[in-house]
Amino acid sequence: MTVLSLARDALATGPLCDPCLGRLVADRSFGLTNRERGHSLRVALALEDDEPYEAPETECWVCEGECQRYDWWAETAAAAVRGYEFDTYQVGTRVPPLLEENDVLLREEVGLEEGDGELMKSAFNREVGKRFGGLTDTAVDFGRPDVMVHCDLSTDEVEVQVNSAFVYGRYRKLKRDIPQTEWPCRDCNGTGRQRDELCDGCDGTGYRYDESVEQLTAPPIQEAMDGSDATFHGAGREDVDALMLGGGRPFVVEIDEPRTRHVDTEALREAVNDFADGKVEVEGLRLATHEMVERVKEHDASKTYRMDVALGDSVDEGPFEAALTELDGATIQQDTPQRVDHRRASKTRVRQVYDIDGTLAEDGETAELEVHGEGGLYVKELVSSDEGRTEPSLAGLLDVDAEVTALDVLDVEGEDEPFADDDFFRSVEETEP
């Protein structure tokens, strides 16, 4: 079938606009719009038949005039995103069932097969999209754009979905008894009340702890980006009573519906640290992509800990050094610790101790340990044995009770290479105003 015979068959079905006629041969040639293709087919038919050229009808039985409103839809969409800062977009269209059926009928009438030409929905997305991009000076992104615009042809409404913005960094926790994220009170399920009275467990706050790393870092980022909400994602977490020191722990703060994306990360770092008031400190803030969230959450980094240990009885230097020698490089089997059994799956984990050093106090009743271990190693239980649930352990090898009285995380992996891939960050060019 030639393109002219296809055009004759199409025009015989009823009045068609140039865009709907041109869509039937959208896979032919390049550098032409469907409107230009449709116009060219009409001209070619007039020349072949030696008949006067006839302009297209004002009505089109397929799109019912929607193809004449590309500019209106683009302008309406641009107005809908006014006030939001974004670099990338995607346009989607909800085509009424009747128009979709008309599109299918036209294709059937002219004998098109799947993959031939272009569907109305695809053409609408593209035509409105390129106009929208021109009006907003932004680029289309078919992966995860900053904003998604949905045009509903049945209601003449535009819906806007503003995707999250992400800030990556590392945090140090400089005070104990601060959880990583908000910790709702279990007694009242976070409501702050029990039997119409203030909850005794949280004094009516709804939280077990007054502050968290999340609450000390996310608010300034949310404010700077003018978002509707913020979510904190960490690369693992330290115990509530542990400090996080050294190079810090990787994290990402996700900001919902941000109106501002181009923020000065150095100024943001200063704002977060001022807000945290010495309890938490952040560094290395960078604007990131959504892929960084999973990268951080799935990162099973090795960690280095420093621990103060209280021993149940006085221990001599010889047995203490012998126990450390046996633990150094050892493979540890750990049943889920009793202290986390209520929120973790009960199973036996096998983890490696990469390195362990320690100093025993003169009285033999306390010690200081430094342990570098595989991600997921429960170091408190490595010391205490958790009533035999961890083997081997310091307590088991010394045959005395042993308890961690203070715990500091000194390092998470020790270098930033797992997070240094620029594919997971927004480039400088994208983030400059």
Rounded CA-CA distance 428/359 in Å is 48
Tell whether the torsion through CA atoms of 192, 197, 203 and 208 is positive or negative. negative
SS3 state at 21: helix
DSSP of 374-418, one letter per residue? -TT--HHHHHHTTTTTEES-HHHHHTS-EEEEEEEEEEESSS-GG
Beta strands 242-256 and 229-234, pairing class: antiparallel
How far apart CA 222 and CA 261 sit, in angstroms, is: 11
Alpha-carbon span 191 to 184, nearest angstrom = 8
Report the C-alpha dihedral over residues 187, 192, 198, 201, rounded to 10 degrees. Answer: 40
Residue 296 CB partners (closer than 8 Å, separation 6+): 168, 233, 234, 235, 250, 251, 252, 419
CA atoms within 13 A of residue 72's CA, in its CB half-sphere? 9
Span between the terminal Cα atoms of the chain, in Å: 52
Instruction: Round to whole Å and give the CA distance between 317 and 309.
Output: 15
Residue 24: Cβ-neighbour burial (10 angstroms; 0-12, 13-18, 19+): buried
Q: From CA 276, how far away is CA 270, in angstroms rounded? A: 10
CB-count burial class (<10 Å; 0-12, 13-18, 19+) for 257: middle
Q: Are residues 66 and 99 in contact, defined by beta-carbon separation less than 8 angstroms?
A: yes
Q: At 349, which amino acid appears? A: R
- Residues identified as active-site: 239
152 contacts: CB under 8 Å, gap ≥ 6: 94, 158, 159
Q: Give the three-state DSSP class for 164.
A: coil
